[in-house]
Structure 1
Amino acid sequence: MTKSKKLEFRPDDYVVYPAHGVGQIISIEEQEVAGFALELFVITFEKDKMTLRVPTNKATEVGMRSLSSPDVIEQAMKTLKGKAKVKRAMWSRRAQEYEQKINSGDLISIAEVVRDLHRTDDQREQSYSERQLYEAALERLTREVAAVSGNDEIAAAKQVDEVLTSRAA
Structure 2
Amino acid sequence: MFQIGDKIVYPMHGAGVIEGMEEKEILGKTEEYFLIQMPNMQMMIPRGRINQLGIRPVADQATLKVVMNNFAEETNDDTLTWKQRYDENLKKLKTGTIEDGADVVKDLMRRNQKKALNSSEKKMLEDARGMLVSEISLAQGLSQDEVLTVLENELRV
TM-score (norm: length of structure 1) = 0.82
Q: Find 2:68's aligned residue among 77, 87, 92.
A: 77
Question: Are the equivalent residues in 2 in contact too, given 1:102–1:137 (CA < 8 A)?
Answer: yes
Distance, in Å, in 1 between the alignment partners of 2:112 and 2:23 is 52
Distance, in Å, in 2 between the alignment partners of 1:46 and 1:113 is 21
Distance, in Å, in 2 between the alignment partners of 1:152 and 1:43 is 19
Mind listing any 5+ residue stretches in structure 2 that lack a counterpart? none
How many residues in Structure 1 have an aligned counterpart in Structure 2?
157
Look up the match of 1:5: none
Question: Are the equivalent residues in 1 in contact too, given 2:22–2:32 (CA < 8 A)?
Answer: yes
Displacement, 1:144?
1.0
Look up the match of 1:36: 29
Look up the match of 1:4: none
SS at match of 1:83: coil
- The answer as to 2:130 corresponding to 1:139 is yes
Displacement, 1:22?
0.8
For 1:73-112, list aligned pairs within 5 A. Answer: 73-86=64-77, 88-112=79-103
Question: Are the equivalent residues in 2 in contact too, given 1:29–1:39 (CA < 8 A)?
Answer: yes
CA-atom RMSD, angstroms?
A: 2.0
Question: Which fold has the larger relative contact order, with Cα–Cα distance below 8 Å and residues 6 or more apart in sequence?
Answer: 2
Q: Find 1:18's aligned residue among 11, 15, 22.
A: 11
Going from structure 1 to structure 2, the CA distance change for 1:11 and 1:131 (only over 3 Å counts) comes to same
Indicate the larger mover: 61-70 or 100-109: 100-109
Question: Are the equivalent residues in 2 in contact too, given 1:79–1:115 (CA < 8 A)?
Answer: no
* Aligned-pair identity (%): 25
Q: Find 1:154's aligned residue among 141, 145, 156.
A: 145
Displacement, 1:116?
1.4
Mind listing any 5+ residue stretches in structure 1 that lack a counterpart? 1-7
Question: Are the equivalent residues in 2 in contact too, given 1:17–1:64 (CA < 8 A)?
Answer: yes
TM-score (norm: length of structure 2) = 0.88
Distance, in Å, in 1 between the alignment partners of 2:112 and 2:90 is 24
Going from structure 1 to structure 2, the CA distance change for 1:115 and 1:62 (only over 3 Å counts) comes to same
